[in-house]
């Protein structure tokens, strides 16, 4: 909203079409774990988890520790890369005209173009992801899946995952 120089009230009153893009909550958690903890142990989120555990930054942080941090930290204090998406995007306060999903982005952007939310050139400018090879083992992912789903249950509910 600062980019369009409007307050939330002005956006609502002017009926400015607002959209958001969300991602599967479990995939998003693992991506944050890999990109912000495993591959970048000096990241802000790694520092916050270390502080949560009262240990020195750059110490080894496990996926379980990251999940403990998410489970036990007030939602508004959780670092944005692992904060539930509904709390990041203003769900419930902002009337979204369209919600796109990363996993279906080309088709969702095409639908948004049909709705008149984007110019037709937008569909051609969707960035392509080049993800690095995952470093978290599948066994660990499976063991933590139900806890992750519980942490992000409202994301599953409101975004239809």
Residue 11 lies in a domain: no
**Residues 65 and 136: beta-carbon distance below 8 Å:** no
Record the tokens describing residue 69, joined without a space. 């941090």
Q: Is residue 8 part of a domain?
A: no
pTM (global) more than 0.85 = no
**Residue 98 lies in domain:** 17-159
Please, which residues bridge with residue 101 across strands? 22
Residue 10 lies in a domain: no
- CA–CA separation, 21 vs 105, rounded Å? 8
Determine the angle formed by the axes of helices 138-151 and 63-72, rounding to 10 degrees.
0
Q: What is the pLDDT of residues 53-89, one digit of tens each?
A: 998 876 789 999 999 999 999 999 999 999 999 999 8
Mean pLDDT, range 113-130, rounded to an integer: 71
CA 5-7-19 angle, to 5 degrees, is 85
pLDDT band at 33 (very low <50, low <70, confident <90, very high): very high
Domain membership flag for residue 4: no
């Amino acid at each position: 909203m600062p980019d369009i120089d409007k307050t939330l009230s002005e956006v609502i009153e002017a009926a400015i079409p607002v959209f958001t893009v969300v991602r599967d909550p479990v995939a998003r958690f693992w991506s944050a774990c890999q990109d912000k903890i495993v591959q970048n142990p000096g990241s802000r989120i790694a520092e916050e988890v270390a502080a949560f555990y009262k240990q020195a930054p750059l110490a080894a942080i496990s996926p379980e520790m990251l999940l403990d941090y998410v489970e036990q930290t007030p939602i508004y204090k959780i670092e944005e890369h692992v904060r539930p998406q509904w709390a990041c995007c203003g769900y419930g306060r902002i009337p979204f005209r369209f919600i796109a999903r990363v996993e279906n982005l080309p088709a969702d952007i095409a639908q948004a173009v049909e709705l008149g939310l984007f110019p037709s050139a937008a569909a051609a400018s969707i960035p392509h992801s080049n993800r690095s090879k995952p470093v978290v083992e599948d066994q660990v992912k499976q063991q933590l899946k139900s806890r992750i789903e519980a942490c992000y249950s409202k994301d599953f509910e409101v975004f239809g995952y």
